[in-house]
C-alpha cells in the first residue's frame, strides 16, 4: 500500500502516527459512546470528531449497516416529576435508561416517531415547551418560548440548501388578529438567533382553511407532521374534503418556505396517517375502519410531488402475526423502516397495546421486536402508549440556545447557588434585578431545585397565620420568632380559619366564604369564592364529647387541596352539604373541582358516600375523606378516595375497629397523612388515646398509639387532636388542637408545647397594661377609644412628658402624694404648695368595676386643664374621673377588646393566630396572574437587611419601569409639574397660595354643609409647635448655612487647593489648533473644577428652567441604572 502521499501526524515526541484517513476509518468503526470520550483527548481530535464531514460519514455508515432495529420510548418517572427515555424493552432505570428530561413533567407530551438525521422533536403540553434531543449522544436543548396556543402542531426538518435544522410550527393565533393561521420557524444554531421568525409570505389566504383543518386533525388525533424529500406534510381533516375533494395533504417547502397541495390517493381519505419510508412520503390506510371483517394495512407511496401520483407499495395482513393480537389494538401506526440482515428494509409498526412489530416485505411475516412493560404511569391511554421512536446512530450536534449557554457559565452557576440559599421572598424579589436573573429564577429546573434544597431534611416547618395588611388576605410568621417577639394586635384573626397541609409548595386557607391558595414564603395568593353557601342549622350537635364547631371545620363545606400529576397543577376539591338531617339520615352532597392553573371548574360530581367534616388528606394524586356514618344507608365507616387525574371516586375499607360504629359510640375517626402514607385515626375520649393505623401494600397495620391522659389542653373530651406530621429526626409526632401545638414523644409519652393560645393571651394582656403613656400636647377630651388603642400599639416617641407611677404622681405641675383606702374605696390626693401640704382631690371609686382598690392599683396620671377631669390608669383600664359628678368615663378596656374579638369570631374558642405546616418553595401560577412578590409581610419585625433590599428594589421599580403603575404615576406627576411651571409659567409661591385658598374654601363649604346633609364636620387636628423645637430647627439651619458659606470662602481665597485645582495632562495638539484666547478659556475650565462647574451650571440654568432640568435628568438616571443594575445587585446580595 502506497503511503507516500498520505498526510501524517507527528506526536509530541516526534513519533509518526497513523494518517488521517486511517484514523477516520478507525473512528467510524467505534460506537458513539467511545467517540464522545475520544473528543476529550485533545483539541485536534475534538475538532476532527466534531466536524460536519465526520458526522456525515458516520451517519451514512450507520444507515448502510445491517443491524437489528433499535427503538427508544419515553415514560414518566415516579410521581410524574420527570420523563425518562429508555432504550429497548427495559423500563428499569438501571438497565436501558438513556437520560432523563427533568423539565418535562406530567403526562401530556407528543414525540416524532421517526428522527430527522438522528434528532427528535418533543412537545410538552404542560409547560408548554418544545425540546430537541439526540438520543444517541444524550444532548438535549429546550427551544425558546413561542406564542402559546391550544391549537398548534410542529415538525422537525432539515434544510439541505442552508444546512440547518429547522422546527416549523403551524398554529392558530389570537382571535382578534387579522391573520388567524400563522406559521413560524426556528433554526437550531441559525443566524437569526434565539427567536421564532414568521415564514416568508406567511400562510396565504387560499391555504388558511386547509391549514386549520390540518391543525385540528393533528391536535385531536395526535398525528405529527412528516418530513420527507424536503417537505413537511400535514394530513388534512376529512371534513375539509367537501370544499376541495382532491386535496388530502398540505405540504410546506423548507427551502422556499411556501405551501402547496398534494392530491389524495384513489380512495376516501379516512382512518389514514402519514409516514416516511425510504425517503418517500407514504400514506398508511387501516382497512379495519372500512370493514370490520378486514384486517389489512395498505401503504401507498407518493411518486412525485408535482404530479401527485400514488402507487400501492405494501399490503400487510394483520392476521399473519403468530400471536394474532394485532386486530385488538385500537391504534396501529407505521413509524418507519430499518435495515436488517436482508437486502430490504423492514417496516416497523407500533400498537396501542405497547408492542412494536416488524414486517418483512419479502417473507410477508410479522415479528414482535419490542414489548414495553408497565411503567410508573397508572393513567395509560391509547395515545400515550405510542411514544415510541426509531433509534438512529448519529453524531449530529444539538445547538444550545443563548439562554442555556448563559445559564451554564461559572458566574451563572455561582449565582444559582446563592439564590438557592436565599429565603423565598428575597428570591422572588431578585427577579427585578435583570433579565438573566428573571429567566434563571423562573426556570422550572431552578424552582424544583429550590424546593428540593430547602426541604431536603423533610422536617415540619411551622408558620403562624394572621390577618394581612389592611385586613385583606393573611400574613405569615415562623413559629420560632414567636419566642423572641410578640405578634402585633393588628395581626389577630377576626374570623375562623382552617389551614391545609402543604401540597407541592402551596397551602389552602379556608374561611366560610372564601378559599385562599397561598405560597406563604413568596406571598403569592389566589382567591376562590364559595358560591354554593347556604346556612344550614344542624339538628344534632354531633358526637357527645366533641364540640359542635371544632377547629378543623368551617361552614357547611369540606375543602381539600390536591395536585394533578398529569397536568402538574393544583386542584381544589370542594364538598357542599345542601341538606344534612341526622334523624332521617338524609343528605344532599355535591362536589366541585377547581383547576388552579387553567382556571377550569367542574361540577355535578357526586361522591358515593357522605363525608365527615374533618379535613381530607392528599397522597400521590389522591384525596381521602372519612365517611359520615350518621348519614346515608350504611352504618359503617369507610374512606372515600378521589383520583384527581381521572376524576373518579372510590371507596376503601377501614380497619375493623374503626369501621364499627353505633349511636352510643363516643369515638371520632378521620384520616391523616404521616410519613407519606395514608393513616386512619381513632380518637377514644374514654381512655384518652389516639390509635393510628397505617395502610401499606393494601393492608392496615398499627403504626402509633398516643396516650393523652393527664395532659391539659389535649383532652379528647374537649378538643379534636389532629396528628400533623412525624419528625424524621427524632420520631416525635406533631399534634394540633387549634389552641395548642405540641410534639409527642413516643418513648417518654410526654408532650412539649410549641404554641399555646392561652399563654399568648396572657402575654398580650401584660404587654397591653404596660403601654399606657401620657404625651405632651394631647387633649384628654379627644382621647377616644380608637386613639388610645392606637397609642397602646405604638412605641412612645422620643420626646414625651414624664411617666408617673403610684409612689410619686405629679398633677398640674405640682409635687403630689396620694393615699388609697381599699375599705372605703377612696383615693386621697395631697398637693405641695409653698412647702405646705393641702388636700387637692378625693376620688370615690366605690361601685366602679375595674377600678376597685382592693384588686387594682389606681394611678392618677394627669389633670385636664379644660374641665379638671383626672386621668386614671389601672393597667387594664384607662378612664377620666369627674370630681364634680364623681363619674368615670372609660376610654380603654382590655377585657372588652378581647370579648369583642371573641364575639366576632365564628369559632367558640378564640384564635389569635393559626398554626400551619408549609414547605419552602417558589410555586406560583404566573400565566394567569402575576405573583405579588412584595406582599409577604411578617407579623413580627424583620431584619434591617430586608428594608435595604426593598429600598433598592423601589428605585429599580421606578427607574426601569418594572412597576408600570408606579413609574407612570411619577411620570404623570413630573409632567404636570413641568407643565405648570414652564408652560403656564406658574410661580411656586403663587401655586402654594392658590392651593391654600382652595383648601380653605373646600373646608368652609364642608363645615357649613355638613349639618344640612347630617354629616360629620371635618376634624381639623390642632398643630402646636413648641418654642424649643422651633429654636432647635433655627439653630441647625444656621449651623449648616454658616458651614457652607465658610467652605465657599475658603475656595474663593485659595486656602483649599485640592478643591480649587485639579491638574490634568495637556494635549499638545490642542495648543496648536486652538487660539490663544480659546486655549486660555479651555484650560481655565479644564483645570479649575469648581469655577468650571459653576460656569456650566450657569449656562444650563440660563437655557432651561430648574424643573426642565429635573425632568430630563430622569432619563439619565434610567440609563445609569440600566447599565449598572447587575453589578449593584450582586453587591446587594
pTM of the model: 0.69
**Sheet strands side by side (includes 355-360):** 332-339, 345-351, 355-360, 365-371
Report the distance separating Cα 1089 and Cα 1096, nearest Å: 11
What was the pLDDT predicted at 814?
56
What was the pLDDT predicted at 901?
53
Nearest CA among 929, 939, 150 for reference residue 528? 929
Helix or strand or coil: residue 341?
A: coil
Helix %, strand %, coil % for the chain, to 5? 30, 30, 40
Which residues partner with 276 through β-bridges?
281
Which residues partner with 228 through β-bridges?
231
**Residue bearing cell 411551622:** 462
What was the pLDDT predicted at 865?
81
> Strand 272-277 to strand 280-286: parallel, antiparallel, or no bridges (unpaired)?
antiparallel
Which residues partner with 74 through β-bridges?
85
Report the distance separating Cα 400 and Cα 868, nearest Å: 84
Helix or strand or coil: residue 1098?
A: helix
Report the distance separating Cα 258 and Cα 788, nearest Å: 78
φ/ψ of 452, rounded to 5, equals -70, -35
Report the distance separating Cα 220 and Cα 337, nearest Å: 26
Cis peptide before 350 (omega within 30 of 0): no
Report the distance separating Cα 182 and Cα 190, nearest Å: 21
**Counting beta carbons within 10 angstroms of the beta carbon of residue 982, is it exposed (0 to 12), middle (13 to 18) or buried (19 or more)?**
middle
Interhelix angle 444-454/410-420, nearest 10 degrees: 50
Report the distance separating Cα 257 and Cα 211, nearest Å: 14
Helices (H), 682-781: 757-769
**Residue bearing cell 419528625:** 727
Cell numbers found for residue 459: 422536617
Please report the sign of the dihedral spanned by the C-alpha atoms of residue 982, residue 986, residue 989, residue 991.
Answer: negative
What was the pLDDT predicted at 686?
87
What was the pLDDT predicted at 977?
79
Report the distance separating Cα 478 and Cα 754, nearest Å: 12
What was the pLDDT predicted at 788?
36
Which residues in 899-917 are b (16+ Cβ under 10 Å) and which e?
eebeeebebebbbbbbbbb
For residue 639, what is the enclosing H or E element? strand 638-643
- DSSP secondary-structure letter at 483? G
What was the pLDDT predicted at 1026?
67
What was the pLDDT predicted at 783?
41
What was the pLDDT predicted at 199?
92
> How far apart, in Å, are the Cα atoms of 359 and each of 69, 460, 663, 769, 1118?
12, 57, 68, 90, 68
> Strand 258-263 to strand 272-277: parallel, antiparallel, or no bridges (unpaired)?
unpaired
Helix or strand or coil: residue 330?
A: coil
Low-confidence ranges of the chain (pLDDT < 50): 1-15, 90-94, 541-546, 768-810, 904-910, 927-953, 1062-1090, 1120-1133
Nearest CA among 619, 680, 686, 687 for reference residue 654? 680
Got the DSSP string for 950-988?
Answer: HHHHHHHHHHT-SSHHHHHHHHHHHHHHHIIIIIS---H
Amino acid at each position: 500500500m502506497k503511503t507516500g502521499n498520505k498526510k501524517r501526524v507527528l506526536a509530541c515526541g516526534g513519533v509518526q502516527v497513523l494518517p488521517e484517513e486511517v484514523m477516520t476509518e478507525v473512528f467510524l468503526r467505534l460506537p458513539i459512546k467511545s467517540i464522545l470520550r475520544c473528543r476529550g483527548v485533545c483539541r485536534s481530535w475534538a475538532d476532527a470528531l466534531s466536524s460536519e464531514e465526520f458526522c456525515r460519514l458516520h451517519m451514512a455508515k450507520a444507515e448502510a449497516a445491517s443491524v437489528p432495529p433499535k427503538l427508544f420510548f419515553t415514560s414518566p418517572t415516579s410521581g410524574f416529576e420527570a420523563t425518562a427515555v429508555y432504550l429497548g424493552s427495559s423500563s428499569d432505570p438501571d438497565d436501558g435508561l438513556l437520560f432523563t428530561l427533568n423539565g418535562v413533567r406530567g403526562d401530556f407530551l407528543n414525540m416524532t416517531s421517526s428522527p430527522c438525521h438522528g434528532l427528535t422533536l418533543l412537545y410538552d403540553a404542560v409547560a408548554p415547551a418544545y425540546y430537541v434531543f439526540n438520543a444517541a449522544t444524550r444532548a438535549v436543548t429546550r427551544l425558546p418560548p413561542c406564542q402559546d396556543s391550544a391549537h398548534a402542531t410542529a415538525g422537525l426538518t432539515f434544510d439541505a440548501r442552508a444546512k440547518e435544522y429547522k422546527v416549523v410550527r403551524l398554529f392558530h393565533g389570537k382571535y382578534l388578529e387579522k391573520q388567524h393561521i400563522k406559521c413560524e420557524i426556528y433554526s437550531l444554531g441559525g443566524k437569526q438567533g434565539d427567536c421564532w421568525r414568521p415564514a416568508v409570505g406567511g400562510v396565504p389566504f387560499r391555504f388558511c382553511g386547509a391549514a386549520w383543518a390540518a391543525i385540528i386533525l393533528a391536535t385531536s388525533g395526535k398525528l405529527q407532521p412528516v418530513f420527507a424529500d424536503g417537505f413537511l406534510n400535514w394530513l388534512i381533516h376529512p371534513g375539509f374534503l367537501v370544499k376541495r375533494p382532491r386535496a388530502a395533504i398540505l405540504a410546506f417547502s423548507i427551502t422556499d418556505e411556501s405551501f402547496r397541495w398534494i392530491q389524495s390517493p384513489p380512495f376516501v381519505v379516512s382512518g389514514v396517517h402519514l409516514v416516511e419510508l425510504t425517503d418517500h412520503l407514504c400514506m398508511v390506510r387501516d382497512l379495519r375502519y372500512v370493514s370490520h371483517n378486514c384486517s389489512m394495512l395498505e401503504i401507498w407511496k407518493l411518486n412525485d410531488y408535482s404530479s401527485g401520483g400514488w402507487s400501492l407499495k405494501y399490503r400487510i395482513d394483520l392476521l399473519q402475526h403468530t400471536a394474532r393480537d394485532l386486530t385488538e389494538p385500537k391504534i396501529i401506526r407505521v413509524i418507519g423502516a430499518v435495515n436488517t440482515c436482508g437486502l430490504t428494509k423492514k417496516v416497523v409498526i407500533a400498537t396501542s397495546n405497547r408492542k412494536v412489530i416488524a414486517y418483512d416485505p419479502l417473507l410477508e411475516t410479522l415479528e414482535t421486536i419490542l414489548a414495553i412493560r408497565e411503567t410508573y404511569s397508572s393513567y395509560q391511554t391509547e395515545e400515550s402508549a405510542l411514544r415510541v421512536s426509531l433509534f438512529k446512530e448519529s453524531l449530529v450536534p444539538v445547538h444550545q440556545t443563548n439562554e442555556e449557554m448563559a445559564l451554564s457559565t461559572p458566574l451563572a452557576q455561582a449565582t444559582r447557588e446563592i439564590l438557592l440559599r436565599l429565603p423565598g421572598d428575597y428570591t422572588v424579589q431578585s427577579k427585578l434585578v435583570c433579565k438573566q436573573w428573571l429567566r434563571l429564577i423562573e426556570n422550572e429546573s431552578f424552582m424544583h431545585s429550590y424546593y428540593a434544597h430547602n426541604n431536603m431534611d423533610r422536617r415540619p416547618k411551622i408558620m403562624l397565620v394572621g390577618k394581612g395588611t389592611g385586613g385583606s388576605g393573611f400574613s405569615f410568621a415562623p413559629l420560632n420568632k414567636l419566642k423572641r417577639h410578640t405578634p402585633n394586635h393588628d395581626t389577630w384573626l377576626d374570623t375562623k380559619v382552617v389551614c391545609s397541609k402543604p401540597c407541592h409548595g402551596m397551602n389552602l386557607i379556608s374561611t366560610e366564604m372564601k378559599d385562599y391558595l397561598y405560597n406563604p414564603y413568596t406571598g403569592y395568593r389566589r382567591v376562590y369564592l364559595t358560591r354554593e353557601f347556604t346556612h344550614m342549622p344542624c339538628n344534632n350537635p354531633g358526637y357527645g364529647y366533641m364540640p359542635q364547631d371544632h377547629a378543623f371545620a368551617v361552614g357547611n363545606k369540606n375543602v381539600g387541596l390536591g395536585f394533578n400529576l398529569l397536568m402538574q397543577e393544583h386542584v381544589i376539591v370542594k364538598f357542599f352539604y345542601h341538606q344534612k338531617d341526622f334523624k332521617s339520615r338524609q343528605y344532599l352532597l355535591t362536589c366541585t373541582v377547581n383547576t388552579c392553573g387553567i382556571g377550569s371548574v367542574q361540577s355535578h360530581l357526586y361522591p358515593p358516600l357522605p363525608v365527615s367534616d374533618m379535613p381530607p388528606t392528599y397522597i400521590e394524586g389522591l384525596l381521602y375523606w372519612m365517611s359520615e356514618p350518621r348519614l346515608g344507608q350504611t352504618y359503617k365507616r369507610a374512606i372515600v378516595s378521589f383520583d384527581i387525574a381521572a376524576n373518579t371516586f372510590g371507596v376503601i375499607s377501614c380497619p375493623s375497629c374503626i369501621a364499627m360504629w353505633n349511636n352510643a359510640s363516643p369515638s371520632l375517626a378521620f384520616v391523616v397523612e404521616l410519613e407519606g402514607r395514608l393513616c386512619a385515626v381513632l380518637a377514644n375520649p374514654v381512655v384518652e388515646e389516639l390509635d393510628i393505623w397505617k395502610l401499606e401494600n393494601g393492608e392496615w397495620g398499627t403504626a402509633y398509639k398516643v396516650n393523652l391522659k393527664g395532659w391539659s389542653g389535649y383532652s379528647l373530651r374537649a378538643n379534636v387532636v389532629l396528628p400533623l406530621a412525624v419528625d424524621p429526626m427524632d420520631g416525635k409526632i406533631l399534634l394540633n388542637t387549634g389552641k395548642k401545638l405540641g410534639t409527642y414523644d413516643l418513648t417518654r409519652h410526654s408532650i412539649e408545647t410549641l404554641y399555646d393560645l392561652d399563654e399568648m393571651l396572657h402575654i398580650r394582656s401584660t404587654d397591653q397594661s404596660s403601654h399606657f403613656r401620657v404625651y405632651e400636647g394631647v387633649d384628654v377630651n379627644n382621647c377616644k377609644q380608637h386613639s388610645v388603642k392606637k397609642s397602646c400599639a405604638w412605641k412612645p416617641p422620643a420626646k414625651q412628658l414624664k411617666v408617673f407611677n403610684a409612689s410619686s404622681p405629679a398633677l398640674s405641675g405640682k409635687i403630689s402624694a396620694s393615699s388609697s383606702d381599699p375599705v372605703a374605696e377612696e383615693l386621697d390626693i395631697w398637693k405641695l404648695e409653698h412647702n405646705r401640704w393641702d388636700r387637692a382631690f378625693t376620688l370615690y371609686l366605690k361601685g366602679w368595676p375595674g377600678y376597685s382598690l382592693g384588686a387594682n392599683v389606681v394611678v392618677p396620671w394627669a389633670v385636664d386643664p379644660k374641665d379638671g377631669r383626672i386621668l386614671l390608669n389601672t393597667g387594664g383600664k384607662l378612664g377620666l374621673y369627674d370630681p364634680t359628678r364623681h363619674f368615670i368615663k372609660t376610654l380603654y378596656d382590655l377585657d372588652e377588646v378581647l370579648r369583642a374579638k371573641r364575639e366576632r369570631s365564628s369559632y367558640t374558642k378564640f384564635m389569635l393566630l393559626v398554626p400551619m405546616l408549609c414547605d419552602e418553595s417558589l410555586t406560583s401560577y404566573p400565566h394567569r396572574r402575576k405573583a405579588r412578590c412584595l406582599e409577604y409581610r411578617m407579623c413580627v419585625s424583620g431584619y434591617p437587611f430586608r428594608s435595604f433590599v426593598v429600598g433598592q428594589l423601589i428605585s429599580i421599580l421606578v427607574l426601569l419601569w418594572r412597576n408600570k403603575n408606579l413609574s407612570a404615576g411619577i411620570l404623570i406627576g413630573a409632567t404636570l409639574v413641568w407643565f405648570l411651571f414652564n408652560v403656564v409659567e406658574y410661580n411656586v409661591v403663587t401655586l402654594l397660595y392658590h392651593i391654600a385658598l382652595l383648601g380653605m374654601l373646600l373646608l368652609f363649604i364642608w363645615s357649613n354643609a355638613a349639618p344640612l346633609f347630617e354629616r360629620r364636620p371635618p376634624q381639623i387636628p390642632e398643630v402646636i409647635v413648641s418654642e424649643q423645637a422651633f429654636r432647635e430647627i433655627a439653630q441647625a439651619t444656621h449651623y449648616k448655612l454658616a458651614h457652607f458659606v465658610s467652605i465657599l470662602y475658603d475656595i474663593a481665597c485659595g486656602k483649599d487647593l485640592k478643591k480649587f485645582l485639579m491638574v490634568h495632562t495637556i494635549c499638545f495638539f490642542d495648543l496648536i489648533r486652538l487660539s490663544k484666547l480659546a486655549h486660555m478659556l479651555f484650560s481655565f475650565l479644564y483645570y479649575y473644577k469648581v469655577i468650571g462647574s459653576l460656569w456650566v451650571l450657569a449656562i444650563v440654568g440660563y437655557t432651561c428652567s430648574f424643573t426642565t432640568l429635573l425632568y430630563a435628568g430622569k432619563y439619565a438616571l434610567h440609563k445609569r441604572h440600566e447599565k449598572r443594575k447587575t453589578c449593584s445587585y450582586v453587591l446587594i446580595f
